[in-house]
Structure 1
C-alpha cells in the first residue's frame, strides 16, 4: 500500500505550486501525509499560516484523520488564524487505491484584503457593514503539542477553570471533545493529555472507556 500512497503524493505535489500561483499571494496550499502526523506537511506553497515542510497537522487535520474512511471534502469553510485573520479553507482528503485515508490537500485563502476592500466599497456606497459572524479559531502552529494545548485551553475557557481543576463530569466533556477531534489517534497523545489534566494515564484510559461506552449507547 505504501507504493500506492507514494504515487498519490508524487502526483499531487506539482499541483501545490500551481494552485497557489493561480490564486496569488493570499493563497496557501498544503499537502499532508497522514502516515506521519507529527511531520505531516510534505509540500507547501504560500505563507498564509506560516507552515513549512516537516510541520505537524492542525486540529483540522486531526478531525479528518479521526474520520478515517468517512472523511469527505470540506469546501469553503471559514476559520480564524491565531492572529485573528479570517481564512476561507478547503480540505480534500486523499485515499490510496484501497480507499484508506492517507493524507489531504488543503487550500487556505487569507480574506484580509478582500474584507478591507469590502469595507471601503460599503462606505462609498453608504451601506452598513455586515455583522461579523462568529468563526472558530484554528491553531496552525505546526507543533502538535501546541495544537493539543490550544484544544485544552479552549475547554478551560469554556469552563473558566484550569484543566487540572475540572470536576470529573467536566473532564469527561473535555476528553469527549478531544476524542472527537482525533487527538487520541496520535502516538503518545494519552500521556500528553494525562499530564496536562494532572491525572494518571490509567485515569485517562478509564475516562476514555467511559466516553466510548456512552457513545455506543443508543
Structure 2
C-alpha cells in the first residue's frame, strides 16, 4: 500500500511538473508578436532584421494587394497591388516594436515613392502594415524619421493586411548555398545576394541619407 501511494504521489508530481512546463512554453510562445513592413527587395529586409536581437524569424512575402496567395512573378509583373514585404516575428520582452520601427525607417529610403534603390515600381515601394495596437508607434516612428531627415517621408502607415509568404526559393536567400546563374555568372545565392545588394546601391543610398544612424548598411 505504501509503495502504491508513493508511486501515485510521484506520478501526480510528474504530471504537475510537465503541465507547468507546457504552460510556461505556451505562455512564452504567446508573447511573440509580428510586425509587417515593406522595404523594397524582401531578401534585404529579411537579412537585415534577422540580425536583430529578439527577432525570432523574418519571412519574405507579399502584403497589401487584392490577389489571394500571389506568386512572385505575379507581384513583380504588377497588377496585384501587393508589395514585397517581410513579416518579422519578435519577442517584445527583448526588443520593442518602437525599436524595430526606428530601425526599419533608417534601413530604407523613406523619401522615395517610386520604389527602392535600383528596384522601381509599386511592388517595391515602402510601407508599414500596422495592427491597431501598432498604429501610434508607427506614426511616431514616421514623424521621428521625418524630423531627423528634415525631408518629407512618404512611407505610408497602412492597416495590417493578409501576409502571404513567398515560396521557399526566396526564403533565407542571403545565406543559401545553392548555385544559380546570374548576370554576374554562376554564384551561390548568398554571393549573388551580396553582388545584387552592392550593385543596387542600397547601402550607399542609406548611408547617404542616414549616415551613422544607418543600422544595417554594409550587411
For the superposition of Structure 1 and Structure 2, which TM-score range results when normalised by the shorter chain?
A: under 0.3
Larger of the two Rg values belongs to structure:
2
Query: Comparing both chains, which one has the higher relative contact order based on Cα–Cα distances under 8 Å and sequence gaps of 6 or more?
Result: 2
Q: TM-score, normalised by structure 1?
A: 0.28
Q: TM-score, normalised by structure 2?
A: 0.28
